Structure 1
Amino acid sequence: MQIKQHNIVEKIKTNCNACRCRDCFVPRNDVGFLYFFTCLFISLFSASSFAQSPYNDNVYNAHIKSVEFYNTQKQASFPAIVLKSGEQVLLAFDDLRGGSRNYYYTIEHCDSKWNSSNIATAEYLQGFTDDRLTDYTYSSNTIQKYTHYELKLPNDNIAPKISGNYILKVYEDGDRSKMILTRKLYVVGNRVSIAADIATSNDVTLRQTNQKINFQVNYAGLQVQNPNSDIHVLLMQNGRTETSVWSNTPTNIRGSQLIYNDTYTNDFQGRNEFRHFDTRSLKLNSDRISHIYHDTAYTVVLLGDPLRNSANYLFQYDNNGSFFILNQDGSDPRRDGDYAHMYFSLAANKTDKEGTAYIVGKFNDYKIDERSKMDYEPIKGRFFTNLFLKQGVYDYEYVWVDHSTNKPDDITIEGTHFETENDYQLLVYYRPATARWDELVGYRLLNTVKK
């Protein structure tokens, strides 16, 4: 008899009379219990071998490009939906290998720090434990051939039952060891109200560079015994994990209202507006484009980028780090948007002996790795790199990693100003002493300009 690993843990939990699922049937006897524990051992070993701790947004296959994940109400928005509201998120990506592949997906409930909640699938998932991704289309009239995949969640096959953090996993051939990508999903159960505002820093020395968040959480709908331990609030700037700050202790408590306005907490560097480029058309040079070459593949050379760490703020419109797949030369950028080799250069007034420059944005999940690392050209005194990107409008910035500290820092190259337009996400998590998982009970989006 063949023992199948696929979803065996869920099947064992559902059928306590040994492994009595539709894939295999073992009678309730000594042999059945032997198979039961064998299946359980295999499944637990497999899960521990390929689990992440904690989870993050990642792309594990270099052929996977242009990953988008957002609430369908607005393109490139923060991937948060209200539980059982009818809202959905859209996952979209390209596979540059072309053809069609057997991609599967699932979602897993996580705690507020993105570690697995380790609760039974039946407690947080409605429908199947996983499903096949069947919505795809082939590229047309493009030099670079690819297959475009899309998925909307929740759907009839997979939907969350409870609020909280969920990690979306996409993998090949139903084998979770062949992970393709992961994405963070925020499922909100609106059980608290949030009032917030953005002010200048209370620190006089930081008023020209920083933005301070003051907010209040009203938890009248919750049973809270200890607000300091039961409720935690995460603040993020432009949806970036590396900018996030936890507010675990309120400054004051007034009835069922938690007030967070301490003088020196939740004080963010405003940073600068993102740099951008526009490749909606590969026929004409647009803003920031120096040359477009049409050979066996498209090559786009951008104008050189200067250092921007001056004290003076210069406004320029940006999308707070996001990107949009667009194509003015075709009818549907999902399948007729082409790819191009994008060449970037940066005059950082530094050398590779001092540190390393990286280029980041939502298009590469702000990852500081070999794919975002820039090379140094000593003759011209510039850092440079090229990225293979799909047509569209992109925001990006440069991050400096000094050899002496080995810490990523975007202020050194980009500068920081209190006038910078930014989005802030406030996420309220609730976990009383007797609970086994973290609930996401509130979400609020703030903008420094839109009041």
Structure 2
Amino acid sequence: MKSFFILVFTTLSVVFIAQSQTMEDLVNDPDYIKSVTFNKEPEYMLPVFVIGEPVAIEFDDVIGDEADYYYQFEHYDYNWQPSRLFKNEFLDGIDDMRIFNYRNSFTTLQSYSHYTLSIPNRFTRGFKVSGNYMIHIYNDNRELVFSRKFMIMEEKAQVGVEIKRARDIKYINTQQRVQYTVDSQEINFINPADNLKTVIIQNSDIQTALYDIKPQFNLGNRQEYRYDTETSFWAGNEYLNFENRDFRSPNQNIDYVRKKDLYEAYLFVHKPRYGNEYTFFPDINGNYLVTTLDNEDNAVQAEYVNIHFSLLPTFNLPPDASIYVMGNYNAFQLQPENMMIYNEKRGMYEAKILLKQGFYNYRYTVVYDNGEQDPGFISGNLWQTENIYTVLAYYREPGGRYDRLIGQGAGSSENIRN
């Protein structure tokens, strides 16, 4: 009886831990955490690192009280379910350590503390295995503050990606489909239908990735994915953008700036682009770059500005839908701050978001109560839109306990074909 009780208690504990982990993963950033970035270029901020490559994450706390933050890492399967590995199997060194590297802002109206965590460091030397990871940031009370996903890759496979228009005449002008191959000279794929997993990501938005795509056929060890609907994405439209590097001269797409307790920057009023013809203008696919005109150290000298967004409602918004200002500035999260509220006096939807000086891409996205997103409702879906699609390939050997990330490939719809 005692053994049975221990077994039941252990099983329940494992279930409780797994459920707690899953719930923690769903926590959005609090309103005082801003500008969370990995050490990736702004044009391509998808956080995929080759194993052994340095990994760094930076963020600001706009309370600015030099709070203590602690970090932990967890390992996940390809579909972001906790893996079966113990921490000492995937982490070289220890975590649950305080972030010591932080600096306070100066010469800014909005005070903030800027934190930087770099791997390797004296406690955490690196990651032993490839796959999906999350970094969890905790406060002094052991409460989860925020999390970020990233991936560690071992280069064992070649992934070829090609972007084409949809075959279905119904979607030929609004969707883009991704065709790709996975091949390896080092791994002999055994039962690839079950053991080889792929994930397709549009731009840097991990939230809307496609999973569970199986190979259609193979040529030797080369796996072919030639689907139509299963690997299709709504094309969307080019991202909108603004730049506020300087307050003393005109800035891109900013109507005017006022100084109150903080700087208040008002963007030009936008009209929906749905139904308009495609117009090309370069963007960075939803990403952003902190930059100023005169400062030497943007990490602690760039100002935080309240950015005011206004959208003219020449459409009927469904009663079960809301509008969000979406972009990688907050990892495409749905937060109260970036949800637009209808201003009856002005007759338009508005949002005010506190953002660090820089160049930002964003779009207006309709989100339904069931979680479904429709970026084309306001901006339209145009097959000519330039998007970057990344395909990640994961493999689990027979009897393996985790999904190895063995390769990635990327393709741009700039050269889309029929």
TM-score by length of 1: 0.83
- Tell me, in whole angstroms, the C-alpha distance in 2 between the residues paired with 1:46 and 1:75: 40
Report the Cα offset of residue 242 of structure 1. 3.6
Aligned residues with identical type, % of pairs? 27
Residues 180-219 of structure 1 mapped to structure 2, 5 A cutoff: 180-219=145-184
Paired residue type of 2:101: D
**1:268 matches 2:236:** no
Is residue 42–residue 288 contact of structure 2 (8 Å, CA) maintained in 1?
no
> Which segment is superposed worse, 392-401 or 128-137?
128-137
Paired residue type of 2:100: T
Partner in structure 2 of residue 137 of structure 1: 103
Report the Cα offset of residue 48 of structure 1. 5.6
- Tell me, in whole angstroms, the C-alpha distance in 2 between the residues paired with 1:181 and 1:243: 19
**1:62 matches 2:31:** yes
> Which segment is superposed worse, 365-374 or 350-359?
350-359
Taking a change above 3 Å as real, the CA distance of residues 339 and 208 of structure 1, as seen in their structure-2 partners, is: same
Give SS of 1:52's match.
Answer: helix
Is residue 181–residue 225 contact of structure 2 (8 Å, CA) maintained in 1?
yes
Paired residue type of 2:353: L
Partner in structure 2 of residue 254 of structure 1: 219
Partner in structure 1 of residue 56 of structure 2: 90
How many residues matched?
Answer: 406
Is residue 54–residue 115 contact of structure 1 (8 Å, CA) maintained in 2?
no
Paired residue type of 1:161: K
**1:162 matches 2:132:** no
1:77 to 45, 51, 73: 45
**1:226 matches 2:195:** no
Report the Cα offset of residue 192 of structure 1. 1.2
1:276-329 C-alpha deviation (Å, 9 max, x unpaired): 111111222312111101222111111001101125101122110011111113
Paired residue type of 2:22: Q
**1:389 matches 2:359:** no
Taking a change above 3 Å as real, the CA distance of residues 267 and 402 of structure 1, as seen in their structure-2 partners, is: closer
Give SS of 1:123's match.
Answer: helix
Gaps of 5+ in 1: 1-39
Paired residue type of 2:331: D
Taking a change above 3 Å as real, the CA distance of residues 401 and 78 of structure 1, as seen in their structure-2 partners, is: closer
- Tell me, in whole angstroms, the C-alpha distance in 1 between the residues paired with 2:405 and 2:300: 36
Higher alpha-carbon Rg: 1
1:439 to 383, 399, 404: 404
- Tell me, in whole angstroms, the C-alpha distance in 2 between the residues paired with 1:154 and 1:308: 46
> Which segment is superposed worse, 73-82 or 112-121?
73-82
Paired residue type of 2:270: D
- Tell me, in whole angstroms, the C-alpha distance in 2 between the residues paired with 1:154 and 1:53: 28
2:82 to 108, 116, 127: 116
Paired residue type of 1:335: V
- Tell me, in whole angstroms, the C-alpha distance in 2 between the residues paired with 1:134 and 1:406: 38
Partner in structure 1 of residue 3 of structure 2: none
Report the Cα offset of residue 443 of structure 1. 1.2
- Tell me, in whole angstroms, the C-alpha distance in 2 between the residues paired with 1:296 and 1:310: 40
Taking a change above 3 Å as real, the CA distance of residues 60 and 263 of structure 1, as seen in their structure-2 partners, is: closer
1:51 to 17, 21, 34: 21
- Tell me, in whole angstroms, the C-alpha distance in 2 between the residues paired with 1:402 and 1:232: 29
**1:344 matches 2:309:** yes
Give SS of 1:309's match.
Answer: coil
Taking a change above 3 Å as real, the CA distance of residues 419 and 92 of structure 1, as seen in their structure-2 partners, is: same
Report the Cα offset of residue 269 of structure 1. 1.8
**1:330 matches 2:295:** yes
- Tell me, in whole angstroms, the C-alpha distance in 2 between the residues paired with 1:377 and 1:350: 15
Is residue 229–residue 248 contact of structure 1 (8 Å, CA) maintained in 2?
no
- Tell me, in whole angstroms, the C-alpha distance in 1 between the residues paired with 2:318 and 2:78: 39
Is residue 70–residue 76 contact of structure 1 (8 Å, CA) maintained in 2?
no
Q: CA RMSD in A?
A: 2.6
Taking a change above 3 Å as real, the CA distance of residues 210 and 44 of structure 1, as seen in their structure-2 partners, is: closer
Select the structure with the greater relative contact order (CA < 8 A; seq sep ≥ 6). Answer: 2
Gaps of 5+ in 2: 1-9
Report the Cα offset of residue 165 of structure 1. 0.4
Report the Cα offset of residue 49 of structure 1. 7.6
Partner in structure 2 of residue 147 of structure 1: 113
> Which segment is superposed worse, 46-55 or 358-367?
46-55
- Tell me, in whole angstroms, the C-alpha distance in 2 between the residues paired with 1:348 and 1:319: 26
- Tell me, in whole angstroms, the C-alpha distance in 2 between the residues paired with 1:401 and 1:379: 24
- Tell me, in whole angstroms, the C-alpha distance in 1 between the residues paired with 2:216 and 2:308: 48
Is residue 106–residue 168 contact of structure 1 (8 Å, CA) maintained in 2?
yes
Give SS of 1:371's match.
Answer: helix
Is residue 80–residue 188 contact of structure 1 (8 Å, CA) maintained in 2?
yes
Is residue 236–residue 245 contact of structure 1 (8 Å, CA) maintained in 2?
yes
Partner in structure 1 of residue 270 of structure 2: 305
2:342 to 366, 370, 376: 376
Is residue 254–residue 267 contact of structure 2 (8 Å, CA) maintained in 1?
yes
Report the Cα offset of residue 99 of structure 1. 3.1
- Tell me, in whole angstroms, the C-alpha distance in 2 between the residues paired with 1:414 and 1:121: 44
- Tell me, in whole angstroms, the C-alpha distance in 2 between the residues paired with 1:353 and 1:229: 40
Taking a change above 3 Å as real, the CA distance of residues 247 and 178 of structure 1, as seen in their structure-2 partners, is: closer
1:203-237 C-alpha deviation (Å, 9 max, x unpaired): 23322222221111113422432110010110010
Paired residue type of 2:135: L
Report the Cα offset of residue 63 of structure 1. 1.5
Is residue 322–residue 362 contact of structure 1 (8 Å, CA) maintained in 2?
yes
Report the Cα offset of residue 55 of structure 1. 3.2
